[in-house]
Amino acid sequence: MNGQTELHLDLARLRAETPGSAHVLHLNAAGSSLPSRRTLDATLAHLQLEAEIGGYEAADKARATLDGFYPSIARLIGAEPDEIAYVENATRAWDLAFYSLDFKPGDRLLTCVSEYSSNYISYLQVAKKTGAEIVVVPDDAHGQIDVAALERAVDKRTKLISISHIPTQGGLVQPAEAVGRIANDAGVLYILDACQSVGMMPIDVNRLGCDFLSATGRKYMRGPRGTGFLYARTRTTAQIEPIFLDNHAARWTGDNEYTAIADAKRFENWERYFAGVIGLKVAADQANELGMDAVWARLRELADGLRARLKTVKGVTLTDLGVTKGAIVTFSVAGVDHSALKQALRAKAINVSVSTQFSSRLDLKGRGLKDVMRASVHLYNTDTELDRFVSELAKAAAESQ
Ligand SMILES: *Cc1c(COP(=O)(O)O)cnc(C)c1O
């Protein structure tokens, strides 16, 4: 396993080409990961060019790279370039899909227990406005969506199945492909929030069977902050008109007429963070070059290694759910205030985060957890770092008892 991963990935070089890893022990990829030197340089170079020759002129000069964003993202998720829209973050990308759907009283939308808070707030708002109903499909014994219960829950009133692939608050990887088969068999639209999974694991929208997929740049993709994208499957979503249109998403074809453009760019708007588009394209290219199978194998190796180390620390309980566990490691430390622990680690240049019910109320509340510590690994992390993290964690936890 080890040897195989290293055959594919030059780990020392990946780390050397991550400037931030010289400064911090970063275990917060699920918040915002450290970018590579190549991504940072490409982003900075475009900002520099804008300052030197003007923003519009810089965009003209970088046109080929900017246009290359679409095929690069498409390749990463097995889509067609014209099925990709650049959006400034995952939440807005998801919103553009969700709020463009037309719910009627009694329509049902099916989701999962571990659903992300922003998505759930949107369900509540749309349910309040339209009379649609939210159905939360229970978890199975592994803590992932109960696929059989989902299948039973689908009925004639079901308008949408919408889940998060990997929640923000743990290692759980939802059986998103099985969910997709159920959605596709029933002819029900399927939105997949893949904010944490794109860049962490291989993603193939055709295998997943999703109609829409949203993702952010700064997490596992290692792109700049303030970037993201939406995938919209042409075959099933071409007739869906976006909730917002502007002069980029539509053409003003007559005094009293407009025509939304045909491809996924109809979900975009005109102004954007061009340096960020370039940075995210470069980050996607790097992920494509490394190969997502190798990245996924290495990230699981790191995360499993971290879980094994954490098991040896007094007072630590691992809180990750699911059959397959990804690169987000969560745990609680008995008798310790997690936020204070995070701050104590921050003072030692160790970055972790705390997931609270603010991020996923149903899941954490249901498990009786106020919050959990979250340590999320990426390619620049090393086994030596994990050793150091766990020893500092044990020390800090003992001090704050
Ligand atoms: C972080 C996260 C989001 C929000 O992404 P933004 O880019 O901050 O909008 C959505 N869903 C999940 C599961 C997340 O972890």
Q: Which stretch of DSSP H or E encloses residue 126?
A: helix 117-130
Q: How far is the CA of 163 from the centre of ligand 1 (A)?
A: 12
Q: 74 and 215: one domain?
A: yes
Rounded Cα distance between 198 and 192, Å, is: 11
pLDDT exceeds 80 at position 7? no
Bridge partners for 108 per DSSP: 133, 158
Beta strands 133-137 and 108-112: pairing type? parallel
Q: 9 and 56: one domain?
A: no
pTM for this model (two decimals):
0.97
Boundary (domain end) residue, out of 264, 289, 314: 289
Q: 48 and 161: one domain?
A: yes
Q: Per-residue pLDDT tens for 121-133? A: 999 999 999 999 9
pLDDT value for 273: 98
Q: Could you tell me what percent of the chain has a pLDDT over 90?
A: 97
Residue 222 region by backbone torsions, left for phi larger than 0, else alpha for psi between -120 and 50, else beta: left
Q: How far is the CA of 29 from the centre of ligand 1 (A)?
A: 12
Cβ of 228 closer than 6 Å to ligand 1, yes or no, is yes
Q: 285 and 296: one domain?
A: no
Compute the Cα dihedral for 216, 222, 226, 231 and give only its sign: negative
Q: Do residues 61 and 155 make contact, with C-beta atoms less than 8 angstroms apart?
A: no
Supply 17's token pair.
């080409």
pLDDT value for 1: 44
Cβ of 164 closer than 6 Å to ligand 1, yes or no, is yes
Cβ of 116 closer than 6 Å to ligand 1, yes or no, is yes
Question: Domain span at residue 385?
Answer: 3-35+291-400
Q: Do residues 135 and 111 make contact, with C-beta atoms less than 8 angstroms apart?
A: yes
Rounded Cα distance between 315 and 301, Å, is: 24
Rounded Cα distance between 116 and 364, Å, is: 11
Indicate which residue's Cα is closest to atom 5 of ligand 1.
90
Boundary (domain end) residue, out of 267, 289, 311: 289
Q: Per-residue pLDDT tens for 34-90? A: 999 999 999 999 999 999 999 999 999 999 999 999 999 999 999 999 999 999 999
Mean pLDDT of the chain, nearest integer: 96
Q: Per-residue pLDDT tens for 352-373? A: 999 999 999 999 999 999 999 9
- Report the domain count for the chain: 2
Q: 319 and 372: one domain?
A: yes
28, 116, 214: residue to mutate for ligand 1 pocket, most atoms within 8 A of CB: 116
Q: Per-residue pLDDT tens for 290-315? A: 999 999 999 999 999 999 999 999 99
pLDDT value for 8: 77
Q: DSSP per residue over 35-87, as a string?
A: PPHHHHHHHHHHHHHHHHH-HHHHHHHTHHHHHHHHHHHHHHHT--GGGEEEE
Cα angle: 329, vertex 333, 338; to 5 degrees: 85
86, 120, 168, 225: residue to mutate for ligand 1 pocket, most atoms within 8 A of CB: 168
Q: 44 and 103: one domain?
A: yes
Q: Per-residue pLDDT tens for 131-161? A: 999 999 999 999 999 999 999 999 999 999 9
- For residue 170, which amino acid is it? G
Rounded Cα distance between 343 and 392, Å, is: 12
| Domain CATH number, residue 385 | 3.90.1150.10
Q: Per-residue pLDDT tens for 370-393? A: 999 999 999 999 999 999 999 999
Q: DSSP per residue over 196-219, as a string?
A: TTBTTB---HHHHT-SEEEEESSS
Q: 205 and 353: one domain?
A: no
Q: What's the N-to-C CA distance of the chain in angstroms?
A: 38
Boundary (domain end) residue, out of 274, 289, 304: 289
Indicate which residue's Cα is closest to atom 6 of ligand 1.
90
Q: 129 and 19: one domain?
A: no
**Which of 159, 139, 142 has the alpha carbon at shortest distance from 150?**
139
| Domain CATH number, residue 187 | 3.40.640.10
Supply 196's token pair.
């944490």
Q: Give the nearest ligand 1 atom to 164 CA.
A: 13
Q: Give the nearest ligand 1 atom to 165 CA.
A: 13
pLDDT exceeds 90 at position 3? no
Q: Do residues 143 and 322 make contact, with C-beta atoms less than 8 angstroms apart?
A: yes
Q: Per-residue pLDDT tens for 235-265? A: 999 999 999 999 999 999 999 999 999 999 9
Cβ of 168 closer than 6 Å to ligand 1, yes or no, is yes
Q: How far is the CA of 398 from the centre of ligand 1 (A)?
A: 33
